[in-house]
Amino acid sequence: MKVDQLIVGNMGVCCYILSCEKTGKAAVVDPGGDAERILAKLKDDGLELAYIIATHGHPDHVCDNRKVKEATGAQIIMHKDDDDFFGDERVKGFFSMLGMEESPPADLRVSDGDTITFGEVSIEVIHTPGHTPGGMCLYDAPDLITGDSLFVGGIGRTDFPGGDHQQLINAIQTRLLVLPPETIVWPGHGYGGSRSTIQEEGASNPYLR
């Protein structure tokens, strides 16, 4: 699997284009702005977009889901718990203060352990609740897309509705830190750096000691 990282939107979201180098099939993860640039990259690389995957439903990560979907016909994938949570009108009302468009409902709802396949690439869904109820990571060794669950030297905030600090810590420790030490961590924001490894985060991330 080829991983291309793009920093998009006014909140510096790490958007990823994941592609199968043999077939040209691709998935976009967290198109949180700059849809035109994402679409241009897909066109320049000759990629056919199959899926738009949301690591979680916060508006800064999904605000261009609709634009990319309308331009490509790709299906939106979200964990079932976030598809439910962010479909609640009270939750929509809270996050509308950010002034960003919410995602359309998911076309495909996934759960922990499910596999997302495009071309010859198969990605495992790892449910890591705590930042949001349906926060998830995407794993295809050696690459791990962590969204806002795990950053370089940090973790996602848990003070928004649906957040739970201890739940997030438990998910990271029991689901992510057990992966091979050479696993590459691709975070949802580049606050502490644009990439890391599970070994580095286990050894030096102050929130995980």
- How many domains does the structure of the chain reveal? 1
Dihedral angle over CA of 128, 133, 135, 139, nearest 10: 40
Q: Taking the model in full, what pTM does it have? A: 0.97
In this predicted model, what pLDDT tens digit does every residue of 157-201 receive, in sequence order?
Answer: 999 999 999 999 999 999 999 999 999 999 999 999 999 999 999
Confidence of residue 107 (pLDDT cuts 50, 70, 90): very high
In this predicted model, what pLDDT tens digit does every residue of 6-57 receive, in sequence order?
Answer: 999 999 999 999 999 999 999 999 999 999 999 999 999 999 999 999 999 9
Domain that holds residue 186: 2-208
CATH number, position 76? 3.60.15.10
